[in-house]
Amino acid sequence: MLKFLGKRLVQTIPVLIGVTVLTFSMMLLIPGDPAQIMAGESASPAQLEAARERLGLNDPVPVQYYNYVSGVVRGDLGSSIRSGRAVSTEVFGRLAPTVELAFYSTLVSVFIGLIAGVVSAVRRYTFIDSTLMIGALFGLSMPNFWLGLMLIQWLVIGTGWFQGFGWFQASGWGTPQQMILPVITLGTAGSAIIARMTRSSMLEVIEQDYIQTARAKGVSEKKVIYKHALRNAMVPVVTVVGLQFGSLLGGAVITETVFAINGLGRLIINSIRARDFPIVQGGVLVFAFLFVFVNILVDIIYRLLNKRIDLN
């Protein structure tokens, strides 16, 4: 296992370098002059030149990239153009609500998706199967922002049962009442995808010879489904869950905006509007790093689910 982890960490280095290249290039291609934003619209040419020198914009592009990567390695992501605070302080100060939202949305997606997928596969080609899959299709078709607005209209404004806007705790972590609607909003599409994948994988597995053999030996249907079939059907589902976590991090940008959650996604959106390029770079970089390491975790889960998989 340690050998595998070392190998995977080495393999992530080119990926992370690619991420830094993309985030750095993205900021070069976005219209606007960071020095002008920092110095202000009424800045004199001398003030503008001083701002460009401070930001390192007068250096050649390769030198700028080298300085950027060197800072990333040291944990220095630069300073915000607007506030002057360290980007790492701004980004990691907003990371907790986003990770919490994505994590609980993933749990909800997996819980609902697995139950719906297994029931649909066991009751295949019945009314229950059709109903669950049509529901999954609806869940997959609804945009996050629309579902969030509808939930706010019905359950916050209409009934007052839930706290609809913002997570106000000093720690950045939300209360259950504050989290329910954002988690449902973000997790609905994911649960639909997982349900459809679980059904497809289960239908393939339950036709295998070893499943028929277990039934012929008198093993209970419950044990056949949950111990033998579901365990082997989970390998492709875990892949989808890993990819979904990355999608949920991206989807959190919209959900945080709808529910006024002070997370990293909302910070990135506000920074784009304010043309605060270092914050955008830092936020995208953190999202990318999280996604890469979640995929390493997925590889480890493969081995736990199926002992026949050789990690090396």
- Nearest Cα to Cα of residue 121 among 110, 129, 112: 129
Q: Are 242 and 146 in contact (CB under 8 A)?
A: no
Boundaries of every domain in the chain? 2-92, 95-262
Give tens-digit pLDDT for 67-101: 888 988 888 888 887 787 888 889 988 888 888 88
Q: Give the other-Cβ count within 10 Å of 33's Cβ.
A: 14
Give tens-digit pLDDT for 227-285: 888 888 888 888 888 888 877 887 788 888 888 888 888 888 888 888 888 888 899 88
Q: Distance from first CA to last CA of the chain, Å, rounded?
A: 8
pTM of the full structure: 0.80
10 Å CB burial of residue 113 (0-12, 13-18, 19+) is buried
Location of structure tokens 């959900």: 255
Q: 79 has which bridge partners?
A: 86
Asked if residue 170 has pLDDT above 60, the reply is: no
- Per the CATH hierarchy, to which homologous superfamily does domain 95-262 belong? MetI-like (1.10.3720.10)
Q: Name the helix (H) or strand (E) containing 155.
A: none
Q: What is the 3-state secondary structure (H, E, C) of 208-271?
A: CHHHHHHHHCCCCHHHHHHHHHHHHHHHHHHHHHHHHHHHHHHHHHHHHHHCCCCCHHHHHHHH
